[in-house]
Structure 1
Amino acid sequence: MRITSRSADGVTRLSLAGELDMSSTQLLHDQVTAALDGAHTRTLVIDAVELDFCDSSGIQALVVNHRRVTERGITFRLTNARGVTRRALQITGVLDALSGD
Structure 2
Amino acid sequence: MTVLTGNLVHHPNHSVLTLRGELDASSPDLITLAVDTVIDTGRQRLTVDVADLTFCDSQGLRALLHAERKLTAAGGAMELVHVHGLLGRVLGVTGLAKAFTITPSTV
Q: After TM superposition, is the score higher than 0.5?
A: yes
2:7–2:17 Cα contact (<8 Å) kept: yes
Structure 2 stretches of 5 or more lacking a match? Answer: none
Q: 1:7 to 1:16 in 2, by over 3 A?
A: same
1:76–1:100 Cα contact (<8 Å) kept: no
Corresponding residue number in structure 2 for 1:73? 75
RMSD: 1.3
Corresponding residue number in structure 1 for 2:11? 8
Check if 1:94 corresponds to 2:96. Answer: yes
* Larger RCO of the pair (alpha carbons < 8 Å, separation 6+): 1
Corresponding residue number in structure 2 for 1:45? 47
Secondary structure of the corresponding residue to residue 86 of structure 2: helix
Check if 1:56 corresponds to 2:66. Answer: no
Corresponding residue number in structure 2 for 1:29? 32
The total of aligned residue pairs comes to 100
Q: TM-score, normalised by structure 1?
A: 0.91
The alpha carbon displacement at 1:100 in A equals: 4.8
Task: Determine the C-alpha separation between the residues in 2 that align with 1:97 and 1:22.
Answer: 20
Q: TM-score, normalised by structure 2?
A: 0.86
Task: Determine the C-alpha separation between the residues in 1 that align with 2:88 and 2:52.
Answer: 12
After TM superposition, what 4+ stretches of structure 1 lie above 6 angstroms from structure 2? Answer: none
Secondary structure of the corresponding residue to residue 26 of structure 2: coil
What does the per-residue CA deviation read over 1:49-89, in whole Å, with 9 as the maximum and x for residues that have no partner? 11111100000111111100001110211111110111111
Share of identical aligned residues, percent? 31
